[in-house]
Amino acid sequence: METQFVVDIARTSIYTVLMVSAPMLALALVVGLSISILQAITQIQEMTLTFIPKIVAVAVALVIFLPWMITTIVTFASNLIRIIPTLGG
């Protein structure tokens, strides 16, 4: 197994993880930023105020993006399984 082949698999793995997690992370970031701006405007300095909206936003994003996430992960896993026979010495 060549070094470039291993690097390509690692790069594809990291890219897949980033793509699958991006919708939930982006939505949590937007919700957190929005609530922080609202807190700054109203001068409400409650640290726990952002947790519930973030949890709800991530849960909604998970429900919406779950079919795409599963398809992406299954495609990645099937590609890895398909190349296993070529790895023999």
89 within a domain of the structure (yes/no) = no
Number of domains the chain is built from = 1
Q: Tell whether 70 is covered by a domain.
A: yes
In this predicted structure, what is the pLDDT of residue 76?
95
**Residue 53 forms part of a structural domain:** yes
Per-residue pLDDT of the chain (89 residues; tens, 9 = 90+): 688 888 999 999 999 999 999 999 999 999 999 998 998 898 887 878 888 999 999 999 999 999 999 999 999 999 999 988 887 76
| Secondary structure of residue 61 in the 3-state scheme | helix
In a domain, 62, yes or no: yes
Q: What is the 3-state secondary structure (H, E, C) of 6-60?
A: HHHHHHHHHHHHHHHHHHHHHHHHHHHHHHHHHHHHHCCCCHHHHHHHHHHHHHH
* pTM of the full structure: 0.78
Domain-located, residue 50 = yes
pLDDT of res. 87: 77
In a domain, 17, yes or no: yes
Structural domain boundaries, residue 32: 3-84
Q: Identify the pLDDT of residue 33.
A: 93
pLDDT recorded at residue 49: 82
Residue 76 and residue 15 in contact, taking contact as beta carbons nearer than 8 Å:
no
The pLDDT of residue 43: 86
